[in-house]
């Protein structure tokens, strides 16, 4: 199993419920590689000191959320050179046209019109290299990354057909619960760490008062029933968040708040989220302060990833006809 998060911003509660928390559940049953995708992050401008500190902060969140470095390889992408090396080989099997058609590429071109760089366009190929290096069968991601995993499948099949069976064909694993948390200010949009409105997004690092205040300001509707329905996007989003954090189903969440007013409901959702976050935040702080421990985890994670990656890359080099000495 393979997945990664970019250290390009502060983590949101959506990253937690949609990604990291699920990985924790998988680590007992799969051979897992979880990366910090700093090579992907530089496809949009990053401040170097901030990129470095966010890399460590993200590693500390991984651990604080319950990832166990004995059960999975936690590592920083740029510490394993095979990611860049395999990307180069896969580039020659990938067509410019198909990269130009990728949804996220088009979105990012619109948002960063002054910086449409080659890395941005090559982003999906680097992601394919990530996944294929470890011969991953499953890639747990949010729906927005599904197209990228699909292109990784296409590239893997193309390589296998041209050079003989080499890569496994990965499958995206899109999890339902908590997979898509919407903006608190515009529930038709995904909650995004880069949203301009600070009330739209709840960060994993937000303190209790901030969390509750953001939920109290969440956009709802002019009705007064706490029920899940397509016409009630704001309330449905809050019910989904409550369910994901309280560990209950939507129906049970509806029952809990039957007859309760919106104000009280929103406060309750905020308190539930804040209660879950508090121990994780304390643990993240503690781990982040212990630099030796954190460096040790990332070092052994990179070593483990390196071993697996080197094996795959050497096979790839042999198949494409790269001279490797004897």
Contact residues for ligand TRP (CB under 6 A)?
2-6, 37, 40, 127, 130-131, 139, 141, 145
Strands 2-5 and 138-140: unpaired
Active site (annotated) includes residue 108:
yes
Question: What is the rounded end-to-end Cα distance, in angstroms, of the chain?
Answer: 32
Among the listed residues 71, 146, 180, 193, the single catalytic one is 193
In whole angstroms, how close is the CB of 128 to ligand TRP at the nearest point? Answer: 8
Active site (annotated) includes residue 266:
no
Pick 34 or 242: Cβ nearer ligand TRP: 34
Strands 32-36 and 72-76: parallel
In whole angstroms, how close is the CB of 250 to ligand TRP at the nearest point? Answer: 25
Active site (annotated) includes residue 193:
yes
Pick 59 or 141: Cβ nearer ligand TRP: 141
Distance CA 65, CA 60 (A): 9
> Across the strands, what pairs with 2?
33
Pick 112 or 208: Cβ nearer ligand TRP: 112
Pick 2 or 61: Cβ nearer ligand TRP: 2
In whole angstroms, how close is the CB of 235 to ligand TRP at the nearest point? Answer: 27
Tokens of 105: 């590429």
Q: Which of 182, 209, 185, 188 is nearest to 273 (CA)?
A: 209
In whole angstroms, how close is the CB of 119 to ligand TRP at the nearest point? Answer: 13
Q: Which of 243, 242, 200, 240 is nearest to 218 (CA)?
A: 200
User: Is 57 within 8 Å of 126 (Cβ atoms)?
Assistant: no
Q: What is the set of active-site residues?
A: 108, 190, 193
């Amino acid at each position: 199993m393979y997945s990664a998060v970019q250290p390009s911003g502060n983590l949101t509660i959506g990253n937690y419920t949609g990604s990291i928390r699920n990985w924790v559940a998988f680590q007992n049953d799969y051979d897992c590689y979880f990366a910090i995708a700093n090579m992907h992050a530089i496809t949009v401008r990053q401040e170097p000191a901030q990129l470095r500190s966010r890399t460590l902060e993200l590693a500390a969140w991984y651990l604080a959320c319950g990832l166990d470095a004995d059960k999975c390889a936690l590592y920083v992408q740029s510490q394993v050179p095979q990611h860049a090396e395999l990307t180069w080989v896969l580039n020659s099997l990938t067509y410019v046209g198909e990269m130009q058609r990728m949804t996220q590429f088009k979105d990012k071109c619109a948002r960063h019109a002054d910086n449409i760089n080659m890395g941005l366009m090559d982003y999906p190929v680097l992601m394919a290299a990530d996944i294929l290096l470890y011969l991953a069968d499953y890639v747990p991601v949010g729906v927005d990354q599904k197209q990228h995993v699909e292109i990784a499948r296409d590239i893997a099949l193309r390589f296998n057909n041209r050079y003989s069976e080499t890569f496994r064909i990965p499958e995206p694993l899109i999890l339902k619960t908590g997979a898509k948390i919407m903006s608190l200010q515009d529930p038709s949009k995904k909650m995004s760490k880069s949203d301009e409105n600070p009330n739209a997004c709840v960060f994993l690092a937000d303190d209790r008062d901030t969390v509750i205040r953001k939920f109290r300001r969440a956009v709802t509707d002019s009705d007064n029933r706490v029920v899940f329905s397509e016409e009630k996007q704001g309330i449905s989003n809050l019910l989904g968040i409550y369910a994901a954090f309280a560990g209950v189903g939507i129906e049970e969440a509806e029952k809990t708040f039957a007859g309760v007013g919106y104000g009280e409901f929103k406060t309750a959702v905020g308190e539930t989220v804040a209660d879950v976050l508090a121990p994780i935040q304390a643990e993240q702080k503690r781990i982040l302060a212990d630099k030796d421990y954190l460096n040790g985890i990332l070092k052994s994670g990179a070593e483990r990833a390196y071993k697996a990656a080197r094996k795959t890359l050497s096979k790839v080099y042999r198949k494409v006809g790269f001279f490797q000495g004897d």
